[in-house]
Amino acid sequence: MKFIIAIIFSVFSLSASAEDGLITQFVITKVVDGSNTKHSYNNAVLVNFNDVHSFDFKGLYSLKLTTRTEDYKKVNVLINLKDLSTGKPYYVGGRATDLTVGESTNFNFNRDGITYTVDIDTSYGKLP
């Protein structure tokens, strides 16, 4: 009987263990052309692989993140960025790239005299 209970508890403990997710840190920089005005915003999120996630960052930006992977080493990251700072959701742009988890990249968008740069750094993290 003790052996059966031990097996049951070990099965439950294995199913309750945390799995790896993707930590994505964003640095969003906005520069108005012809001006010395530069705004940077920094945030990080922990997400599941093979999922779509939307985030609103303090009324400044809305970011949609799609992560696709087959082997959990290389991930296809798709971002869509909106600028919310004017009170209206202004579509900045969207881009996708393949990254090995642990790598960094950046995306540049130019819209109506404003340059946006989104720097992305990736790593593994334990999901709760």
What is the C-alpha separation between 22 and 105, in angstroms, rounded?
15
Q: What's the pLDDT at 9?
A: 46
Q: What's the pLDDT at 35?
A: 87
Q: What's the pLDDT at 18?
A: 59
Least confident of 18-22, 93-97, 101-105, 107-111: 18-22
Q: What tokens does 1 get?
A: 């009987």
What's the whole-model pTM score?
A: 0.79
Q: What's the pLDDT at 1?
A: 54
Taken in order 62, 68, 73, 77, the sign of the CA dihedral is: negative
Specify the pairing of strand 104-111 against strand 61-68: unpaired
Q: What's the pLDDT at 33?
A: 87
Residue ranges per structural domain of the chain: 48-122
Q: What's the pLDDT at 11?
A: 44
Among candidate residues 36, 80, 37, 38, the one with its CA nearest the CA of residue 62: 80
Q: How confident is the prediction for the chain on average, in pLDDT?
A: 87
What is the C-alpha separation between 54 and 90, in angstroms, rounded?
15
The H or E element spanning position 109 is strand 104-111
Least confident of 4-8, 12-16, 42-46, 118-122: 12-16
What is the C-alpha separation between 74 and 23, in angstroms, rounded?
14
| Distances from the Cα of 50 to the Cα of 39, 53, 89, angstroms | 31, 10, 26
